[in-house]
Structure 1
Amino acid sequence: MQKMKKKHEILKIARRMALALVLLIAVLLISRAVAMRVVYERAVKNNAVSQLETLKLDGEEQSVLIEGKSEDLPVLIMLHGGPQSPIIYGNGYRGDTPELTEHFLVVYWDCWGCGKNFADNTESVTLERQVAMTCDLVRDMKARFPGRKIFLFGYSNGTILATSAAETMGDDLAGIINLGPITSLRDAQEMAYQALKTEDMSEWDKKVLEESYERNDLEGFSKLEEMVTLKTSRIFYWRDLFSNTRLMGYFARVFYSPDYSLADIYHAYYASIFGGSRFTTLRQQIYEVDEKEALENLKVKILILQSEGDIYGSADFFSQLAAQKDNVTFIQIPESAHLPTNAGFEAVNRAVIDFAK
C-alpha cells in the first residue's frame, strides 16, 4: 500500500513537471512570435529596403537579406565567419545594424551549407563553390543596383571568400573589408602556439599544447584554437566580460529573428554543435589555403581590421603590406578580440563607413 502511494506521488510530481515544461515552452514560443513581429515591423518602418530575396548562386537557390535606409546607397555584402556559423553578419539580423544600413544597402547571406541556406549533405560544401557563389552574388547585386559601388565585407573565415572573390571580381568592386582576417591557418597555428607558450598553464595543459602543435594538422590546430579561446583574451575578451554585451546579443538575436524558423536556428548553430565531424572537406580546404599572395597582388582597395593580439593573421605582414601598397589600409583595434567587443564593433563600423566615402 505504501509503495502504491509513493508511485502515485511520483506520477503526480512528474505530471506537474511535464505541465510546467509545456507551459514554459508555450510562453517561450509566444514571446518569440511577438518579438519576431516587433523586429520585423520596426525594420520595415525604419528602412526603405528590408526584404528577404531568393537568388540563384552557382546553381543553388540561396536566401539573402537586403536592408538599407535608402534605395540609392552603395552595396555592402557581408560574408560571415565560422566556418559555417552565420552568427554576426548572417540572414538572422534584420534591423540589427542601423549604423551600417544608414550608409549602405547591406546584403546578408548565410553562406551555402548553413543557417537559412543549409545543405543536408555537408560534405558537398566546398570552398571553391562558396567562392563561386560569392562572385555570383556580386554579379546579381551589380545587375540589381546598376551604377552602385559594391563592397565585400569578410569576417574571419569570410575574409577568405572576400579575398578569393576579389581575385575574380576585382574590377566590379569598389573595395573589400577584411575583419579578423585569416591569411593562413598554418600561420595561425604557429601564432597560437607562441601565444600559449607565454601563458601560465598546468603541466597537463603544457603536454596537450606540445602534442597538438607537433601534430601539424587541422585537428591539432583546432585544439590550439580551443586553448587560445579559453586561456587568453585573443579570441574572446575575457578581461572585461561586460564589454561583450553586444556580442552576446548577437548570439541570442537569432532566436527571435523574423527570418529564421526553428530549423534555421538549429542550422545556424549546426557546425558549432557537431564541431569537426561535419563540413570536413570545407574545413580541410580552409586549413590549407594561404591568402597572402592574393592580398599582395590585388589592385582593389583593401581595408584590413584586426584586434591587437589576434592569432589568425600576422600584424607584421599586414603592416608591411599597407606600407608597400597604396591600396591597402591596416587598422589595429585595441581592447577587442577576434570576436569584437562593444568598443570593437564601434571602431569597425566607423572604419567601414570612412573607407567607403
Structure 2
Amino acid sequence: MKPLLSLLFLLASAVAPAMAAAPVAPASREASTAIIANLRKVVSDQGVERLEKVRIGGIDQWVSIRGNDRRNPVLLMLHGGPGWVAMPTSWYFQRGWEEYFTVVQWDQRGAGKTYAANDPAVVAPTMTRERMIADSEEMVAWLRGEFGKDRIFVLGHSWGSYLGLELAQRRPEWLHAYIGIGQISNAPESERRGWAWTLQQARADGNAEAVAELNALAPYAQGSTPVPLDALFKQRRWLNHYGGMVHNRRGGDAEAAAVKLSPEYTDQDVADVWKGNDFSMQHLLGEVLTLDMSAVRELKTPLFLFEGRHDHNVSSELAAQWFATVKAPSKQLVWFEQSAHEVMIEEPGKTLLTLVQQVRPIAERAGDAPR
C-alpha cells in the first residue's frame, strides 16, 4: 500500500504545477456564464430557482426568483435607473440573501429582458409613473398569491426607492417592511447638491475641463422644471468620475461590465440592456428628478434605509434628513461608510448581515420564516 500512496503523491505533485502553469480560460461568454450558473445553482431540498415571464400590466415582464427555502419570506427588489436593471448583476451580490429570503429580481417595464420582450413603440405610451406604480402593485399581488404570503419585503434602489415608497404608502398591509437604498427624498435639491459637490471636487483637482463644463450648466436644477437630460448626463459624467456613484471608483464601469457575466441574460439581452436603459430614462427620468418625496411624513409599515455615506448621486444626507422626520411603526437608518450609491455591490457583506439580523426578524415574529 505504501508504494501505491507514494506513486499517487508523486503523480499529484507532478500534475498540480502543470495545471497552475497553464490555466484554461473560458472559451466564450456562454462558457463563463455557465460556470457562474453552476456555482450558484440552488440545490437545497426546499429551494426555488425560476426565470420566467409574468403577465403584468398587460405585457410580459421578466422575473428571476431564487432562494434556498420556499418557506422563507419573499423579498422583491425594485431596481434603479429608470432602466438600471439589477438582475444581471445580482449573481455577484445576492447569493447570500437567498439563504434567508426568496429573492425576486424584476426587469421593469421598458428595461432589461422586459424591454427586449416587447415592442418599444407599443410600450412607449405606457411609460408613466402611475403605470410603473400600478405594475409594482400587480407584481406584489402576484408574488403574494404565488407563494401564499400575506406580506412580503420590498427593497427599492434609487428610482426603485420612489416606487417602493409609493407602495409603502398605498399598500402597507402587503408589506413586512420597506427597505430603501439610495432613497429619493427631495430630488431637485439632491441634484443641486450633487452638482455643487462635483464642482468642488473638480476645482480641488484642478480639472479645468470639468469646472468649465459644470459652470456652463448653472443655474442647475432650479425650481421644479425638469433638468434637460443632456445637462444631467454632463453633471453625472463628472460626479461619477469623482466617486459620487461608487466610492473611490471613477465611474460605474465595473458594475456595468458585470452585466456581461449574467447567467440570466442571453447575448441579445446583453446587447439590448443599454437600449432599454436609454429608453426608460428618456421617458421617466426628467420628471422623476422634479419629485419632492420629503412631503411623506408617515408610513404604516416598518422602514429601513441603507445609505452610502458618500452617495452624491442621490443625496444620502437629504435622505437622512427626511428619515428623521417620518413616523413609522419602527424605523432604522443604517450607514454604509465605504459606499456611495451602489451599497449592495460596494458592501455586500454588511448588506447581507443587516438584512438577516435587522430585517428578517420582522417576518420571523410574524410566523413567516422557518426558525
What is the DSSP-based 3-state SS (H/G/I as helix, E as strand, rest coil) of the residue aligned with 1:213? coil
Equivalent pair of 1:322/1:330 in contact (CA under 8 Å):
no
What is the DSSP-based 3-state SS (H/G/I as helix, E as strand, rest coil) of the residue aligned with 2:289? helix
Q: Tell me which amino acid in the other structure corresponds to 1:268.
A: V
Task: Say yes or no: does 1:305 pair with 2:306.
Answer: yes
Let me know the Cα RMSD of the aligned residues: 2.9
In structure 1, the residue matched to 2:320 is 318
Equivalent pair of 1:65/1:91 in contact (CA under 8 Å):
no
Structure 1: distance between partners of 2:280 and 2:56: 22
What is the DSSP-based 3-state SS (H/G/I as helix, E as strand, rest coil) of the residue aligned with 1:222? helix
Query: Residue by residue, what CA displacement relative to the aligned partner does 1:252-276 show, whole Å, maximum 9, x if unpaired?
Result: 443243321212112222256xx5x
Consecutive unaligned residues of structure 2, counting only runs of 5 or more, are 1-23, 222-226, 362-371
Query: Residue by residue, what CA displacement relative to the aligned partner does 1:192-218 show, whole Å, maximum 9, x if unpaired?
Result: 133134322444433322321315323
Task: Say yes or no: does 1:339 pair with 2:346.
Answer: no
Structure 1: distance between partners of 2:108 and 2:34: 25
C-alpha deviation, 1:167, in angstroms = 2.0
Task: Say yes or no: does 1:37 pair with 2:34.
Answer: yes
Structure 1: distance between partners of 2:260 and 2:285: 26
Equivalent pair of 2:42/2:48 in contact (CA under 8 Å):
no
- Selected match of 1:116 from 113, 118, 127: 113
C-alpha deviation, 1:128, in angstroms = 1.9
Q: Tell me which amino acid in the other structure corresponds to 1:82.
A: G
Q: Tell me which amino acid in the other structure corresponds to 1:105.
A: T
What is the DSSP-based 3-state SS (H/G/I as helix, E as strand, rest coil) of the residue aligned with 2:168? helix
User: For the structure 1 residues 81 and 351, does the alpha-carbon distance in structure 2 shift closer, same or farther, using more than 3 Å as the test?
Assistant: same
Q: Tell me which amino acid in the other structure corresponds to 1:113.
A: G
Query: Which segment drifts farther, 114-123 or 89-98?
Result: 89-98
Give 1:128-143 correspondences, 5 Å limit. 128-143=130-145
Equivalent pair of 2:187/2:291 in contact (CA under 8 Å):
yes
Equivalent pair of 1:162/1:176 in contact (CA under 8 Å):
yes
Structure 2: distance between partners of 1:107 and 1:256: 19
Structure 1: distance between partners of 2:310 and 2:95: 29
Query: Which segment drifts farther, 157-166 or 336-345?
Result: 336-345
Equivalent pair of 1:177/1:352 in contact (CA under 8 Å):
no
- Selected match of 1:223 from 218, 234, 238: 234
C-alpha deviation, 1:36, in angstroms = 3.4
Q: Tell me which amino acid in the other structure corresponds to 1:355.
A: V
Structure 1: distance between partners of 2:110 and 2:285: 12
Equivalent pair of 1:52/1:66 in contact (CA under 8 Å):
yes
In structure 2, the residue matched to 1:67 is 66
C-alpha deviation, 1:158, in angstroms = 1.2
Structure 2: distance between partners of 1:92 and 1:314: 23
- Selected match of 1:213 from 208, 213, 218: 218
TM-score with structure 2 length normalisation?
0.76
C-alpha deviation, 1:157, in angstroms = 1.4
Q: Tell me which amino acid in the other structure corresponds to 2:240.
A: T
Query: Residue by residue, what CA displacement relative to the aligned partner does 1:23-71 show, whole Å, maximum 9, x if unpaired?
Result: xxxx999532233334334444435101113211111111111100001
Equivalent pair of 2:110/2:280 in contact (CA under 8 Å):
no
Query: Residue by residue, what CA displacement relative to the aligned partner does 1:147-179 show, whole Å, maximum 9, x if unpaired?
Result: 354011111111111112222221110111111
Q: Tell me which amino acid in the other structure corresponds to 1:37.
A: A
In structure 1, the residue matched to 2:153 is 151
Task: Say yes or no: does 1:85 pair with 2:104.
Answer: no
What is the DSSP-based 3-state SS (H/G/I as helix, E as strand, rest coil) of the residue aligned with 1:335? coil
User: For the structure 1 residues 110 and 320, does the alpha-carbon distance in structure 2 shift closer, same or farther, using more than 3 Å as the test?
Assistant: closer
User: For the structure 1 residues 278 and 100, does the alpha-carbon distance in structure 2 shift closer, same or farther, using more than 3 Å as the test?
Assistant: closer
Give 1:233-248 correspondences, 5 Å limit. 233-238=243-248, 248=254
User: For the structure 1 residues 29 and 350, does the alpha-carbon distance in structure 2 shift closer, same or farther, using more than 3 Å as the test?
Assistant: closer
What is the DSSP-based 3-state SS (H/G/I as helix, E as strand, rest coil) of the residue aligned with 2:353? helix
Query: Which segment drifts farther, 137-146 or 203-212?
Result: 203-212
User: For the structure 1 residues 65 and 95, does the alpha-carbon distance in structure 2 shift closer, same or farther, using more than 3 Å as the test?
Assistant: farther
Equivalent pair of 1:73/1:148 in contact (CA under 8 Å):
no
Q: Tell me which amino acid in the other structure corresponds to 2:175.
A: L
Equivalent pair of 2:177/2:303 in contact (CA under 8 Å):
yes
Q: Tell me which amino acid in the other structure corresponds to 2:106.
A: W
Q: Tell me which amino acid in the other structure corresponds to 1:222.
A: F
User: For the structure 1 residues 314 and 261, does the alpha-carbon distance in structure 2 shift closer, same or farther, using more than 3 Å as the test?
Assistant: closer
Task: Say yes or no: does 1:349 pair with 2:348.
Answer: no
Task: Say yes or no: does 1:180 pair with 2:182.
Answer: yes
Identical-residue share of aligned pairs (%): 21
Give 1:192-203 correspondences, 5 Å limit. 192-199=194-201, 200=204, 201-203=206-208
Equivalent pair of 1:123/1:279 in contact (CA under 8 Å):
no
Q: Tell me which amino acid in the other structure corresponds to 1:263.
A: Q
Structure 2: distance between partners of 1:126 and 1:222: 21
User: For the structure 1 residues 331 and 278, does the alpha-carbon distance in structure 2 shift closer, same or farther, using more than 3 Å as the test?
Assistant: closer
Query: Residue by residue, what CA displacement relative to the aligned partner does 1:300-341 show, whole Å, maximum 9, x if unpaired?
Result: 111111111322135255256347635321122112211348
Structure 2: distance between partners of 1:212 and 1:144: 49
Consecutive unaligned residues of structure 1, counting only runs of 5 or more, are 1-26
Equivalent pair of 2:53/2:61 in contact (CA under 8 Å):
yes
Structure 1: distance between partners of 2:347 and 2:208: 34
TM-score with structure 1 length normalisation?
0.79
Equivalent pair of 2:299/2:326 in contact (CA under 8 Å):
no
